[in-house]
Amino acid sequence: MHLHKYEKIWLVFGITCLVVFLTVVGVSAFTDNHHTPAGGIEHIDPEKVRETAPFDNPGVTQLDDDTYQVSIIAMAFGYEGPELKVPVGKEIVFKVTSTDVVHSFTIDDTKVNMMVVPGQVTTKSYTFDKPGKYLIICNEYCGAGHHFMFTEIEVTE
């Protein structure tokens, strides 16, 4: 079969468009992937929080000599995580999720102010430089008991 000159041009044009399109789609899929911040958004089934690690065993876990993990479940109207006690000067990795509505996990006198969203795990690292008892409060209005939603973390020498 002999293709007319213009048909050839259109054929080449069509293939070029397809290649360009696929490249754009491929590249944006690639860059989107790389736009996710380190660690990304961790998803969790809000109905299965208590069966999902690390929330199946909330509280303080030592990860290595210099790192501790604190996992907390936020819910209307409180925080679940027994006896929060961590050492001063060590990296504390907070992991918080909610079983119901949006809350916050805000540690008084620190830069820790985490938004806690059901279906997601919010992570934040913090190193306390002063020992003492710190108040943890909810800064997002979450209902009638919002003002009673608080707990405490003890930072030891």
Binding site for ligand CUA (CB under 6 A): 77, 103, 138, 140-142, 146, 149
Q: Which two tokens stand for residue 153?
A: 């973390």
Residue (70 or 138) nearer to ligand CUA, CB: 138
Shortest distance in whole angstroms from residue 84 CB to ligand CUA: 17
Residue (95 or 103) nearer to ligand CUA, CB: 103
Shortest distance in whole angstroms from residue 112 CB to ligand CUA: 15
SS3 sequence of 40-107: CCEECCHHHHHHCCCCCCCEEEEEECCEEEEEEEEECCEEECCCCEEECCCEEEEEEEECCCCEEEEE
Residue (69 or 118) nearer to ligand CUA, CB: 118
Shortest distance in whole angstroms from residue 16 CB to ligand CUA: 55
